[in-house]
């Protein structure tokens, strides 16, 4: 490869890398707009609610296991099973688009007050792998919320919200 052809190939590779790198940031911008909108339907295509519910339930189970521990015999085992049933039911009922909006719009460390800007509070946002992208809302020492997006076909969708 000589001269113009090499420049063309190098330019095409650089453009492709820039486009692929910027791709999830476009969805972060769309997510910011949907979170500031009063219409929850604008948020729906950007969220995989089944994946978010599954992750919330797993977080609750992990917290229960950490709190209760492995020991305790039959009574603790019975209690853990009861908490799992309650967390599954609560996750199915309470984790919805409104919950997502309230969680992502809450200021770090204060779930009752609303953040000024979702994008303004992003402390970190980058690829976790080729198909996942992670966003950290707030500094590491300020109980941040993490948002994980995954690529699904030609779009990016939120699959997990965790932290605090």
3-state secondary structure the chain: CCHHHHHHHHHHHHHHHHHHHHHHHHHHHHHHHHHHCCCHHHCHHHECHHHHHHHHHHHHHHHHHHHHCCCCHHHHHHHHHHHHHHHHHHHHHHCCHHHHHHHHHEECCEEEEECCCCHHHEEEEEECCCCEEEEEECCHHHCCEEEEEEEECCEEEEEEEEEC
Tell me the average confidence (pLDDT) per consecutive run of 10 residues in the chain, 164 residues long: 83 88 90 90 94 89 73 74 75 86 78 72 91 91 90 91 82
pLDDT at 38: 84
pLDDT at 27: 93
Q: How does strand 110-114 pair with strand 106-107?
A: antiparallel
151 contacts 159 by C-beta, under 8 angstroms: no
pLDDT at 65: 72
pLDDT at 128: 92
pTM beyond 0.85: no
Sign of CA dihedral 49, 51, 54, 58: negative
pLDDT at 159: 96
pLDDT at 109: 60
């Amino acid at each position: 490869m000589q001269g113009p052809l090499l420049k063309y190939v190098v330019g095409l590779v650089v453009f492709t890398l820039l486009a692929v790198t910027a791709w999830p940031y476009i969805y972060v911008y769309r997510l910011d707009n949907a979170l500031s909108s009063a219409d929850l339907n604008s948020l729906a295509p950007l969220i995989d609610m089944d994946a978010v519910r599954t992750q919330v339930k797993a977080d609750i189970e992990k917290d229960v296991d950490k709190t209760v521990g492995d020991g305790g015999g039959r009574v603790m085992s019975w209690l853990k099973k009861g908490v799992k049933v309650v967390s599954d039911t609560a996750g199915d009922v309470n984790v919805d688009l409104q919950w997502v909006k309230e969680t992502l719009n809450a200021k770090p460390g204060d779930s009752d007050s609303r953040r000024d800007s979702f994008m303004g509070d992003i402390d970190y946002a980058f690829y976790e792998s080729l198909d996942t992208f992670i966003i950290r809302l707030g500094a590491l020492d300020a109980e941040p919320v993490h948002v994980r997006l995954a690529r699904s076909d030609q779009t990016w969708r939120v699959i997990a919200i965790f932290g605090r």
